[in-house]
Structure 1
């Protein structure tokens, strides 16, 4: 049987699509990983999370803090800037596929406890909720690196609610305790994989924040250090060629 090619084609544009997930091509990319989650396990996680949904919640919002900001992929009714309370961004997940390799691992973004995070909230339609959430779960839970939860958010219009988000599962094999700029920047600056470079992800995040009128000091500091390391690497290569 011929393997699906949707992801290979879309990879040239460095953009994950609904077709890549629906065709199975996205999951196939992770087949070599020993901790790959099955579709059944992913579905069970979704079911358990929805069973824990607050009973008084009238709307379903997803809080986006990483690639969901610039490539939500899901269909949604509304989009607002939002603040997530009690969690902060952290490149704390080791990445050996996608934007890294076993020989050159990168770091994947997650959330860890403490402080707050400014991002984007996406309101999903009740009519297509199940279908859209299945796409999100396959995208985020393919390796079980995250823990889905309902967290407190304040929307840009001032309303407070609870939204779905994905925080780091500190029990996962990918979790790394040290996510400081000094440790993470050298990894991000050199890591690359089938999905593109780790630096590209970081700079897309900084751009997405800027376009929303938002800022994250951790992301700014990390991006500045990665750019500095990249400039130094270019100078080193130039010196060797002279």
Structure 2
């Protein structure tokens, strides 16, 4: 289960103990990544996190504001091989990330400066189990007007789990049969599609993938 208690207790990280040691990050590596990212932070105060996947419906970390936002120059892509959570070594699935190009609509979550250390620690444990993401600072535009610099987790194309072919036709057959302790890979896509619809958003890539998965499952 992906929740605050599981992350805080260590149970979440322990659930990945079966992963190969060469891709599983230690707590020290996770902490170092957080420290290095924060050392490059362009501004102080409250912090915006751009959510484009499961952070939209299950953020776990606490926040005090949630608004619709757009991230330019990045697009959704299921480009990370998934062998735990919603996949397995025998039937790997795909995990969502962002690749360069295009535009992504999502939600921006504002974390107050007063609770930032704890909330970011929880976020990093959640997202950086294998170092499959590169934490990045990027400008976002709010639907209601205005902009901010946000923390965004994008694909680490140098990581061993990165898969360059993320076309729906190529990945749907894999994702249709992939599952793990968190549920099925297809379920994630359907949840994402619903979360986007709830925010009056759509993503043609997600819609195409969901349609193919519906035919296969």
Alignment TM class, shorter chain as reference: over 0.9
SS in 2 for 1:94: strand
Contact 2:50–2:107 (8 Å) recurs in 1: yes
Aligned to 2:27: 39
Q: 2:47 aligns with which of 35, 55, 60?
A: 60
What is the CA–CA distance in structure 2 between the aligned matches of 1:157 and 1:40, rounded to whole Å? 39
| 2:115 alignment partner, SS class | helix
- Residue ranges of structure 1 left out of the alignment (5+ in a row): 1-10, 231-242
Q: Distance in 1 between matches of 2:71 and 2:177?
A: 30
Q: Is the 8 A contact 2:45 2:112 kept in 1?
A: no
Residue 71 (structure 1) aligns with: 58
The residue correspondences of 1:82-101 to structure 2 (distance < 5 A) are 82-101=69-88
DSSP 3-state at the match of 1:132: helix
Runs of 4+ in 1 over 3 A off after TM superposition: none
Aligned partners of 2:60 and 2:78: how far apart in 1?
A: 22
Asked if 1 retains the 8 angstrom alpha-carbon contact of 2:88 and 2:178, the reply is yes
User: Which has the bigger relative contact order, CA under 8 A and spacing at least 6?
Assistant: 2
Equivalent residue number for residue 13 of structure 2? 27
Offset at residue 228 of structure 1 (A): 1.1
Answer 1 or 2: which has greater helix percent: 1
**C-alpha RMSD of the superposition:** 0.9
Q: Distance in 2 between matches of 1:204 and 1:198?
A: 10
Name the residue aligned to 2:212: 225
Distance 1:76 1:96 in 2: 30
Unaligned runs of 5+ in 2: none
1:58 Cα deviation (Å)?
4.4
Normalising by structure 2, report the TM-score. 0.97
Rounded Cα–Cα distance in structure 2 between residues aligned with 1:144 and 1:75: 22
From 185, 198, 206, give the equivalent of 2:193. 206
Secondary structure of the corresponding residue to residue 116 of structure 1: strand
Instruction: Give the TM-score taking structure 1 as reference length.
Output: 0.87
Give the Cα separation in 2 of the matches to 1:45 and 1:17.
21
Q: Which has the larger radius of gyration?
A: 1
Q: 2:92 aligns with which of 92, 95, 105?
A: 105
Query: Secondary structure of 1:190's partner?
Result: coil
Q: Give the paired residue count.
A: 215
Counterpart-to-counterpart distance in 2, 1:181 and 1:75: 33
